[in-house]
Amino acid sequence: MTATRFCLLLGLAACAGCIPTAPSTGDGQKAAAAPQAANAGDGPAPLAAPRNRAGDKERSKKKPAAAPDPDGSEPAPAKETDVPTLIAQLKDADADARLGAASDLAALGPRAKAAVPALIAALKDESEDVRPWAALALGAIGPDARAAVPALTGILKDKDADSTLRTDCASALGGIGPDAKAAVPALTAAFKDTDPDVSDVRYASAGALVGMGVQTQAAMKVLIDGAQQGEHQSAYDAIAAAGPAAKDAVPALIALIKDDNAPDRTGPAGALGGIGPDAKAAVPALTHMLDPGNSGQDRDAAAMALGKIGPAAKPALPILLEMAKDDNIDGPGPSAAQAVKKIDPAAAKKAGIP
């Protein structure tokens, strides 16, 4: 059995493309894990995948590696009928197998609700790579993971716990949503913690609160301040995961992507995409990012964001259609094609975009 995982943007997140997980090998075990990629792609928020973040200690993070099936074909995504097998695999002696199971369950989202008890137990897994994926899977399941709120809150409150795991627990609470309101005091305390070593915990907690409609003004200020510093991807992830509730951040994000000298414009672009149609004011600036003189990463991020904004991004169609002619899988062409389909399906059909 194989699976794909979405680039979970908050906690859920944030993202911005789907990164495939490891397929099962012939003996039912997962392929070896690989270091987590830093780029976000186009996929459903909420959760940001575990990775090295600005506030983390220096250590590698794992994600399941993509690999073809034994016959050379692309791996198929996990299905709801695979959930019992994945639950059993969470108890496998091999850490990579448990890691693959947790990521597959995250990709299934609400369809994996039967795995909630097993994922709660996996929050205590001996592997530092499995625990964050268990948290992300719980957040991806959403309200049906409400039983995990006490465990997630306990980890968030534990200042001796790994900061990445605390960040992912905060993100997961945001993914569970209003049913996690019992965690509001812990989330509030975390977003008020100004220790730079736990800045990612702070931003994820603020994003969760914004998404819940709690402490909105103060939490939004934390996120906007973090974004304006230009070096905290987790702030962008949290804004994206909060979605339309974070629309007050749009002006600050536009200013960031307008800065041609900014060290990174993909983060703010991804955050604008997460906000969605309410970020329509950013269409001119995102369209400028599509210019061929910009980096491929910038153009790719802008195309994905415009696609998420939807029909309001029609002014960008001419350049997106031109970009879509480039079918190089490693370039921005595929993202441009997907954006055209979301912005104007009729135009995509006319252009022969499948």
Rounded distance between C-alpha atoms, residue 59 and residue 225, angstroms = 27
Rounded distance between C-alpha atoms, residue 289 and residue 302, angstroms = 6
Cβ-contact 20, 5 below 8 angstroms:
yes
Cβ-contact 308, 45 below 8 angstroms:
no
CA distance readout (Å), 237 to 85, 132, 171, 199: 31, 16, 10, 13
pLDDT over 70 at 36, yes or no: no
pLDDT of residue 228: 82
- For the record, the structure tokens of 63 come out as 């994600």
Would you put residue 276 in left (φ > 0), alpha (ψ -120 to 50) or beta?
A: left
pLDDT band at 76 (very low <50, low <70, confident <90, very high): low
Q: Of 59-68, 245-254, 297-306, give the lowest mean pLDDT range.
A: 59-68
pLDDT of residue 7: 45
The one-letter code for the residue type at 22 is: A
Rounded distance between C-alpha atoms, residue 95 and residue 103, angstroms = 12
147 vs 59 pLDDT, higher one: 147
Average pLDDT over residues 157-183: 95
Instruction: Compute how many other C-beta atoms are within 10 angstroms of the C-beta atom of residue 28.
Output: 12
Rounded distance between C-alpha atoms, residue 297 and residue 320, angstroms = 15
pLDDT of residue 15: 37
292 vs 29 pLDDT, higher one: 292
pLDDT of residue 77: 75
What is the helix (H) or strand (E) element at residue 207, kind and residue range? helix 199-212
Which is it for strands 4-5 and 19-20: parallel, antiparallel or unpaired?
Answer: antiparallel
pLDDT over 50 at 24, yes or no: no
* Phi, psi (deg, nearest 5) at residue 42: -90, 110
pLDDT of residue 353: 93
Tell me 294's DSSP state.
S
- For the record, the structure tokens of 97 come out as 């197998």
pLDDT band at 279 (very low <50, low <70, confident <90, very high): very high
Q: How far is CA 44 from the centre of its chain?
A: 7
The one-letter code for the residue type at 173 is: L
pLDDT band at 64 (very low <50, low <70, confident <90, very high): low
Q: 4-248: CATH homologous superfamily?
A: Leucine-rich Repeat Variant (1.25.10.10)
Q: Where are the domains of the chain?
A: 4-248, 259-354
Query: CB burial class (10 A; 0-12, 13-18, 19+) of residue 303?
Result: buried
Rounded distance between C-alpha atoms, residue 26 and residue 337, angstroms = 35
Rounded distance between C-alpha atoms, residue 51 and residue 37, angstroms = 7
Cβ-contact 147, 117 below 8 angstroms:
yes
Q: 318: number of CA atoms within 13 Å, CB side?
A: 4
Q: Of 24-38, 78-92, 122-136, 193-207, give the lowest mean pLDDT range.
A: 24-38
pLDDT of residue 292: 92
Give the chain's mean pLDDT. Answer: 81
- Angle (CA) 323-15-255 rounded to 5° is 70
Residues 6+ apart with CB under 8 A from 85: 1
